[in-house]
Amino acid sequence: MTLLSIEFASPLYDESVALRYEVLRKPLGRSFTEEQLALEWSDYHLAALDASGQMRAILLLTPQAEGVLKMRQVAVAPEWQGRGVGAALVEYSEAFAKSQNFNKIALHARETAVPFYRRLGYEFEAGLFEEVGIPHLKMWKNLDTSK
């Protein structure tokens, strides 16, 4: 598995949009708008590719307040779920965030994904909320281990 940053509007980016659509949007009866995708130009796009170069997982990191990134659009191809690819990509994103001088990652986890993020050291704030029609929790992880 190769973990890397991919460029916005590249062929790999197009693959990432297709994967995110299949895993995250299609099951909810949603699609991407041109406007939503255009806003992703300033995000960091991190991917996991298999030995043949096919995209198996993707996540986006969106700069927020000083030192904070929001992780979003985390998608792993169904046949690769449960095989450690998602965990490896999240851990890669944390190292990437530190290399870019960010010290915290925040996210909105689907309720079903909360145990996954908890295993990776993410904490949550109390209270479920609805986003895209399904329950979510706000979660975060401090990347500065000196505090």
Q: What is the pLDDT of residue 16?
A: 97
What is the CATH number for 48?
3.40.630.30
Nearest Cα to 111, choosing from 129, 85, 89?
Answer: 129
**Which whole number is the average pLDDT over 24-39?**
92
**Which whole number is the average pLDDT over 40-58?**
96
User: Side chain identity at 8, as an amino acid letter?
Assistant: F
Alpha-carbon distance 120 to 130, whole Å?
Answer: 23
Whether residue 79 is contained in a domain is answered as yes
pLDDT digits (tens, 9 = 90+) for 89-147: 999 999 999 999 999 999 999 888 999 999 999 998 878 878 888 888 999 999 986 54
Q: What is the pLDDT of residue 134?
A: 85
For residue 17, the number of C-alpha atoms closer than 13 Å in the C-beta half-sphere is: 17
- Return the structure tokens found at 12: 């790999």
**Which whole number is the average pLDDT over 16-32?**
94
User: Side chain identity at 94, as an amino acid letter?
Assistant: E
Q: Looking at the 3D structure of the chain, how many domains does it have?
A: 1
Q: What is the pLDDT of residue 67?
A: 92
Contacts for 117-125: CB closer than 8 Å, 24+ residues apart? 117/90, 119/87, 120/87, 120/90, 120/91
Whether residue 108 is contained in a domain is answered as yes
Whether residue 94 is contained in a domain is answered as yes
Nearest Cα to 25, choosing from 137, 147, 132?
Answer: 132
51: containing domain: 2-142
- Return the structure tokens found at 30: 């949603």
